[in-house]
Amino acid sequence: MIRAILFDAAGTLIHLPRGVGWHYREVLARHGLSADESRLATAFAQAFKAAGPRVNTGISRPDDDKLWWRALVLHVLATCGHQPGQFAFDPFFEELYAHFAEPGVWELYPEAIPVLEQLHGRYKLAILSNFDRRLYPVLENLGIRRYFDAFLISSEIGIDKPDPRAFTAAMASLGVTPRETIHAGDDPAHDWQAAEQAGLHAYRVQRPSQGLENLPAFVQSLSSPT
């Protein structure tokens, strides 16, 4: 029987409707610099891939990975031809970092609340995300924090998916076993493969063909006697 469901956050429950390049461009403009939105988006994707994983120490990272993000932002700007010496980088970075926790930046996928309403109270629900503490105000602003019994955020637990210890920590917080647990996420390596390797059931979010709308039926199929 299924007793618990873990949810990834970005790409699963929430997304940036205007895209990351739009937000970088807007904050850069407030600091007197112009940049192309599509070029910023491409540079961000390249920088994010090049940055590589954070070190999984199992110890909380109290700076919420700000140094990691700072290096990534410098990479993005350099790719787009902007160097820190051209402007005051630190105030820009602090505003950009804070911006992604502000209301109106993130948006829920349309099926998120109906699905959470169906599952809440019947199963233990938790967030398991490679995010940082900025996720708390995001979830609060979007009105869904109340649905969850636990939050396992990588900067708090010091472990990023796909490390199996992230899944172990989430299950321990809920008091469940792998076969009693589903992990819902959109990343093939960090969510699907990692969950299955840790012994959990994986619900594969593959937008646009499948969002979260089929999750309740998937839960029911695993809970029904065979």
174-220 residue pLDDT tens: 999 999 999 999 999 999 999 999 999 999 999 999 999 999 999 99
CA distance 16 to 107: 6
- The edge-to-edge listing of strands for the beta sheet with 201-204 is 150-153, 124-129, 4-7, 181-185, 201-204
What pTM was estimated for this model as a whole?
Answer: 0.94
Can you list the domains of the chain with their CATH numbers?
4-15+106-223 (3.40.50.1000), 20-99 (1.10.150.720)
Please report where in the chains the tokens 């979260």 appear, as a residue.
212
The closest alpha carbon to 202, from 12, 15, 49, 54, belongs to 12
pLDDT of residue 83: 80
The closest alpha carbon to 4, from 175, 189, 195, belongs to 175
pLDDT of residue 106: 98
SS3 assignment, position 91: helix
- Residues (pLDDT < 70) of the chain are 225-226
pLDDT of residue 226: 55
CA distance 141 to 145: 9
pLDDT of residue 87: 80
The closest alpha carbon to 103, from 136, 142, 132, belongs to 142
H/E segment holding residue 49: helix 37-51
pLDDT of residue 225: 64
pLDDT of residue 28: 95
Q: And the tokens for 206? A: 């593959």
Contact call for residues 132 and 154 (beta carbons, < 8 A): yes
